[in-house]
Amino acid sequence: MPIQDTTQRRPRLWVRLVAFVLAAGGAMALPTMAAAQGVAAIVNGDLITALDVAQRQKLTELSTHKAQSRQDALDELIDEKLKLQIAKRYIVEISDKEINNAFDGIARRAGTTSQKFADSLTAAGISVPALKARIKADMVWSAIVRGKFQSSLQIGEREVVDALQTIKKDDKPEAAAYQYSLRQIMFIVARGSPPQVFDARVKELEGLRARFQTCEEGIPMARAVRDVAVREPITRSSLDIPAQQREVLDKTPVGHLTPPDITLQGVETFAVCAKDQVGGETPEKREMREKLTNERFQAQAKRYLKELRRSAMIEIR
């Protein structure tokens, strides 16, 4: 059960993209040179080539398993040009390091390396710089919309409460917010090991779980087990943990271990060393506030993009 910061998570679309690209391998051929030489559109002087359009269609097909029309692909690319152009006007800078970190994160969350992901994209006929340009456009656009329309994106407490009441189907009280003190314990498994090795390590971990009653006594026991890494203490708020992971922590008594979870490094568990209730916002309110904020952001972003399109010089070839 890896503990994640939900503010850093990317859409599942990217994870699906990695999976499909890796599965496709080199089966998809590169567009022809004739396609690469054509100009599909000019946006305020910036060119969009037929190759750009073809690659976007291929990228969409790989990530969604659905064919994309040429017009839809072209519209996406025009929007991205407008986003990058407005970023220059507002002097919004996204460093190459930030873009590369986002690219690395996409690959990592899908269980592969950045190099393997990049190689698979190239083999599938998709330009890595083109994908990074899309990532950059999304990042600068988010920064611009949130900065330009900051006040209108604020969600009041009354709005959150009213929205929760519309979906609440019983009188069950809202879940309390907690501050967890955790120790990650990893039963290490070498890369490429067969499933039987993971199964054996799961059994070892379950044996430790049965004996683990307090962190003071259990942590030394964990350190004594062969090929086990015990991480330094971490503190996490239930507000920053996804609902599924939060449920696991809530069900785990203080001084005990969470159920085993298989990861790329081995078999993982967390020792719940403390669980302190805190006042203020509850997980339900946090999730609803994020949902309402995202809905308002998407609506504002759509309106602003329409304004940019109306004032832009766009020539379709």
Q: What is the pTM of this model?
A: 0.56
Residue 154 lies in a domain: no
Of the candidates 272, 264, 265, the one whose C-alpha atom is nearest the C-alpha of residue 246 is 272
CATH of the domain at 50: 1.10.4030.10
Q: Are residues 32 and 143 in the same domain?
A: yes
Q: Are residues 208 and 132 in the same domain?
A: no
Instruction: Examine residue 98 and state whether it is found in any structural domain, yes or no.
Output: yes
pLDDT of residue 169: 58
The verdict on 142 and 214 lying in the same domain is: no
92 DSSP 8-state letter: -
**CATH assignment at residue 227:** 3.10.50.40
pLDDT of 185: 96
Both 191 and 121 in a single domain? Answer: no
- pLDDT computed for residue 199 by the predictor: 93
Is residue 5 in a domain?
Answer: no
Query: How many domains, in total, are found in the chain?
Result: 2
CA-wise closest residue to 273 among 253, 250, 255: 255
Q: Are residues 30 and 83 in the same domain?
A: yes
Instruction: Using the Cα atoms of residue 293, residue 295, residue 299 and residue 302 in order, give the sign of their dihedral.
Output: positive
239 and 310 belong to one structural domain: no
Whether 196 is in a domain gets the answer yes
For residues 181 and 122, state if they share a domain.
Answer: no
Same domain, 112 and 236: no
Are 19 and 73 in a shared domain?
Answer: yes
pLDDT at 8: 40
Shared domain check, 14 and 127: yes
pLDDT of amino acid 1 = 57
Identify whether the C-beta of residue 187 lies closer than 8 Å to the C-beta of residue 205: yes
Chain segment 106-145, per-residue pLDDT in tens = 888 777 888 988 888 888 878 888 888 889 999 999 999 9
Asked if residue 210 belongs to a domain, the reply is yes
141 in a domain, yes or no?
yes
Could you identify the residue written with the tokens 């969350």? 109
Same domain, 73 and 130: yes
The answer to the question of residue 4 being in a domain is no
List CB contacts of 49: < 8 A, sequence separation 6 or more: 36, 37, 38, 39, 40
- In degrees and rounded to multiples of 5, residue 59 shows phi and psi of -60, -45
- Angstrom CA distances, 192 to 19, 51, 198, 266, stand at 18, 38, 11, 11
Beta bridge partners of 46: 43
Task: Tokens 């291929």: give the residue.
Answer: 58
- With a cut of 70, list the residues of the chain below it in pLDDT: 1-37, 168-176, 279-281
pLDDT at residue 168, rounded to an integer: 66
Spatial neighbors of 186 by CB under 8 A, at least 6 apart, are: 228, 229, 230, 231, 263, 265, 266, 267, 268
What pLDDT does 131 receive?
86
Residue 299 lies in a domain: no
CA dist 36 to 1, 40, 48, 72, 78, Å?
Answer: 45, 10, 10, 19, 17
Position 139 scores a pLDDT of 92
| Domain carrying residue 247 | 177-278
138 lies in the same domain as 36: yes
Phi then psi for residue 250, to 5 deg, are -65, -35
Unique residue bearing structure tokens 């044996």? 207
